[in-house]
Amino acid sequence: MSTRGAVSIIVALFVGTAVLLLLLLMRNSPQFAPCRLDAEAVCKLVANVKRTKNYSGTYAITKNRKKLDYTWAVHNGNEQITGVSDKQEILDFRIVDDTLYLKDPAGEAWWEVLKTQIEGYSTYLPFQPDTWVPGFLQLVDSGQAKFTYLGEERCLDYICEKYSMVLPGDSEKQQHMLYIDNKEYHLRRYYGTDGVSFQEMTFVPTAEEIVKPQPRKAAPLGVNIFLEHNKKLDSMKKNQLQYLQQFEEDREQAEGSSPRPTSSDESP
């Protein structure tokens, strides 16, 4: 075999090996995975959310001029949610391992109950990260959503790519806005509305460890602690309203019975 022929074979083997290695890298790397959605940034976002196990953030929903604000976190399967309305805490609960802890609004202690003991009870919450995030991911990754790039703008401490998302069955009033940072491609902000309610969420791909709260007390057997929590909260709000009304009535009576200053042209 001539020297030229041997060199050609070596070059061909080298090029073929390089191409094969490149194809293997592209196949195994999420960054180069084929994007079946119509927005490359959204594909990277989906890959990131699937890999992220710990995350935290805020969630706000406004309806009929009433706003509820939540802070939330998920860490190694445990979760924590705190809700505030009109500057008053309305909810604080944690799930650690197989146990749920709900703060008694009438005191500092936390009810403690196994999750299996409340499975049959009504525990509706406006926002639950363990269901919201997977549900959101399913919608985004369904292949049926349509995305439109709307430019870049600052969100939190990042520069984000802004996309509108349209889902099958959306009405003209429904809107979904995704804000994806242009460095790490994490979802930093979400905004959605159906024309009646407005939702806004911020997302951080980290979270602190969630621990069992103190002090704790056993939840009463056979009692839905979420309903008990709401009853106590409603009673506290009612008592507070009655106190404010009584205070206002007492103030008006006191001002009505007090002598009013009169003006006089006479010098003292």
Give the count of beta carbons closer than 10 Å to the beta carbon of residue 83: 19
User: Above 70 in pLDDT, residue 136?
Assistant: yes
* Per-residue model confidence as pLDDT tens digits over 171-189: 999 999 999 999 999 999 9
**Cα separation of 5 and 58, whole Å?**
67
CA dihedral 59, 62, 66, 72 (to 10 degrees): -10
Residue 24: per-residue pLDDT: 32
What's the rounded mean pLDDT across residues 110-128? 77
DSSP conformational letter for 215: S
Burial, 165: exposed, middle or buried (Cβ in 10 Å; 0-12, 13-18, 19+)?
buried
Per-residue pLDDT band for 36 (boundaries 50, 70, 90) equals low
Looking at per-residue pLDDT, the higher value among 165 and 116 belongs to: 165
40-44, 135-139, 247-251, range with greatest mean pLDDT:
40-44
User: Above 80 in pLDDT, residue 37?
Assistant: no
Looking at per-residue pLDDT, the higher value among 143 and 191 belongs to: 191
Burial, 42: exposed, middle or buried (Cβ in 10 Å; 0-12, 13-18, 19+)?
buried
Lookup result for tokens 């190694």: 76
Looking at per-residue pLDDT, the higher value among 262 and 186 belongs to: 186
Positive or negative, the Cα torsion across 140, 143, 148, 154? positive
Q: 3-state class of 128 per DSSP?
A: coil
Q: Is the distance from CB of 174 to CB of 164 less than 8 angstroms? A: no
For the full predicted model, state whether its pTM sits above 0.75. Answer: no
Contacts of 182 (CB under 8 A, 6+ apart): 41, 152, 158, 159, 160, 161
